Amino acid sequence: MNGSFILIGSFLALLIFKFPITFSLFLSSIITATYLNIPLMSIVQRLVSGVHSFSLLAIPFFILSGEIMSQGGISRRLVHFSNALVGQIRGGLAQVNIIASMLFGGISGSAVADVSSIGAMLIPMMVKDGYDADFSVAVTVTSSL
């Protein structure tokens, strides 16, 4: 039997039994590695080599740039500008979130920095304005991509 079928099948079976996603991913990987007789040292070596990636080093710096822009007032200004553009129409605050995320993403180039700075400001505003918290987070995350 193919290893990918075992991996996907065990993952879906664990999800059906209401295991959390993190445990399902971990346990399905262990089940597949055990079935395919993959040596433990090979798994550990791949985990360690995967962490030593320069692209992973960029994520904290994008978050730092988002925080610098947020503390510097760029995020607030983008939100006020977006509010002037689309704030008066129905669902305006959600659309302000989308426009501000589009502009901020164009400046920073990072979805992570966008979510950390625009989301920290607009999600509480949206919840206070009567939007559902799940909807506010979903709009922020999808608009930052």
User: Which residues, 6 or more positions from 108, have their beta carbon under 8 angstroms from its beta carbon?
Assistant: 62, 65, 66, 69, 114
| The two structure tokens encoding residue 40 | 């433990």
All residue ranges of the chain with pLDDT < 70 are 1
Q: Return d(Cα 57, Cα 82) in angstroms, integer.
A: 31
Quote the pLDDT of residue 23: 93
Do 7 and 60 reside in the same domain of the chain? no
Count of the separate structural domains present in the chain: 2
Quote the pLDDT of residue 17: 94
Quote the pLDDT of residue 112: 79
Q: Report the predicted TM-score, pTM, of the whole model to 2 decimal places.
A: 0.58
- Mark which of 51, 70, 87 sits at the end of a domain: 51
Quote the pLDDT of residue 28: 93
Place of tokens 């947020």: 70
Do 59 and 47 reside in the same domain of the chain? no
Please give the residue range of the domain that contains residue 131.
Answer: 55-144
Do 19 and 81 reside in the same domain of the chain? no
Query: Please, what's the b/e burial string for 75-85 (b: 16 or more CB within 10 A of its CB; e: otherwise)?
Result: beebbeebbee
Do 66 and 128 reside in the same domain of the chain? yes
Residue type present at position 124: P
